A and B are shown apart, each in its own frame.
Chain A
Amino acid sequence: MGPDELAELVDRHAAALVLYARQWCGSPEDVVQTAFLKLVRLRARPDNLVPWLYRVVRNGAIDASRAARRRVRYETAAADRAAPWFAPPDDPTGLDARAAADALTSLPDETREIVVAHLWGGLTFEQIAQTLGSSAATCYRRYAAGLAALRLKLGAECPTPT
């Protein structure tokens, strides 16, 4: 993989990958950087590059989270400096970024990761299913359930369709 292609991948996907990894661990940027370096080390380019990146980031983030759990002090410090999940919204009438992050945090892990991968990673449910080792139908059901739960949490703030 050439440096231009890698730079484009980083520019396009790094923020969403960091958001995805942030669900599990306190140092998501390290996990994402490691995933990109793993990609560079590969002799052959993966068939489904973006789902491959998400799978590597997911595994790395879960491993990092397990390691952090063993270091209670570190975890406490990481929680104290928790970074925001979203950039301040351009549209002041839109959702509050902090409320959205809080609502997402309240979802079960297996639901939240699907919502994040689909909405911000742009992965299809088929690609998410490949990443999680599940079926696309199951992923869609969890996504729909997650959105329903988010609507209840954010209901007052969401624009209602006319």
Chain B
Amino acid sequence: MPDPDVMNPPLPPADAAVAAALARLRPAPAPLDRDRLMFAAGAESRRNVVRLWQFAAGILMAAGFAAGVLYAQSALREVPAVTAPR
């Protein structure tokens, strides 16, 4: 895919000089607390892991509950007594 910037008409030289002069300026350093950001990012990614663990535990608990209900129902079901013919 061609770079769309290449397809644009060239800037007038005077404007290109302005762009070059501006581009030489460096943005002021970001007043970010990098350590705080990395710590918060670590906490966020950990939260995803916890959610996954909670989800798996929830599924297992639901499956256990369903199995218990089925077992209870089967235990309550009346089984007709069958006697052997004499």
Which residues does A use to contact B, with CB under 8 Å? 1, 3, 6-7, 10, 14-19, 29, 32-33, 36-37, 40-41, 43, 83-87, 89-91, 94-95, 97, 100, 115, 119-120, 124-126, 136-137, 140, 144, 147-148, 150-151, 154, 157-161
Contact = CB atoms under 8 A, between A and B. Distances in A.
B41 A6 contact: yes
B85 interface: no
Interface in B23-59: 23-32, 34, 36-38, 40-42, 44-45, 48
Given A95-B21, A125-B4, A18 B41 contact: no
B30 A15 contact: yes
A119 B41 CA distance: 28
Given A32-B32, A120-B27, A125-B5, A150 B22 contact: yes
A125 to B, nearest CB: 6
The DSSP consensus for interface residues of chain B is helix
A159 B42 CA distance: 47
Contact of B24 (A32, A41, A94): A94
B81 interface: no
A144 B38 CA distance: 38
A83 B19 CA distance: 23
